[in-house]
Amino acid sequence: MNAIETWRTAGETRNADLAVTALTPDVTLISPITEQFVFRGRDQVHNLLEVALSEIDDLTYTDQAGEGPVVALFYEARIGATRIFEAQRLRLSDQGEIEEITLYVRPLPALTLLMNRLGPELARRNNQPALARLVPLAGGALHAMATSGERTIMPRVAPRD
């Protein structure tokens, strides 16, 4: 099984241990939330994947584009009742392992919900208990705005026949 197949299988089976076997030791994962939020190395990425895969249900890869050093994967999943769609740009090393992962998530309410679900546990694992308590407060307000906009405001500006 090559690195892309391993990565896909790991995501769909919620297996963080398997996922890191597809990665270079110095892998970089760039968060969909901000460019300043970067995970470096297998240990940090493994930590993130353990937390993320515990919160994301029914992950199914639907499409793959590209060959060679850059591959794009697309999946659909759920976080509770909220549907989430993610695109992943994977850069491969000369040895065929994944050396860089850039994530793109939609819709915005799914991203803010993901942030609220992952943030506190990631903060606790980084020995930041005060931040673990702050994330749900700040993130909750952001999620409420994103959800309200998605349900109330954006439908009013949608194209009409």
Q: Is 16 found in the same domain as 5?
A: yes
Question: pLDDT value at position 144?
Answer: 73
Prediction pTM value: 0.86
Q: Is 125 found in the same domain as 99?
A: no
Last residue of a domain, one of 83, 105, 127: 105
Question: pLDDT value at position 1?
Answer: 81
Q: Is pLDDT above 90 for 3?
A: yes
Cβ atoms of residues 3 and 45 within 8 Å: no
Could you report the per-residue pLDDT of 143-152, keeping only the tens digit for each?
A: 777 777 777 8
pLDDT band of 131, cuts 50, 70, 90: confident
- Whether residue 136 has a cis bond before it, omega within 30° of 0: no
Q: Is 27 found in the same domain as 96?
A: yes
Last residue of a domain, one of 105, 125, 153: 105
* Domain coverage including residue 72: 1-105
pLDDT band of 136, cuts 50, 70, 90: confident
Could you report the per-residue pLDDT of 71-127, keeping only the tens digit for each?
A: 999 999 999 999 999 999 999 999 999 999 999 999 988 988 888 888 888 888 888
Q: Is 90 found in the same domain as 112?
A: no
Question: pLDDT value at position 103?
Answer: 96
Could you report the per-residue pLDDT of 30-79, keeping only the tens digit for each?
A: 998 877 789 999 999 999 999 999 999 999 999 999 988 999 999 999 99
The three-state (H, E, C) secondary structure of the chain, written as one string: CCHHHHHHHHHHHCCHHHHHCCEEEEEEEECCCCCCCEEEHHHHHHHHHHHHHHHCEEEEEEEEECCCCEEEEEEEEEECCEEEEEEEEEEECCCCCEEEEEEEEECHHHHHHHHHHHHHHHHHHCCCHHHHHHHHHHHHHHHHHHHHHHHHHHHHHCCCC
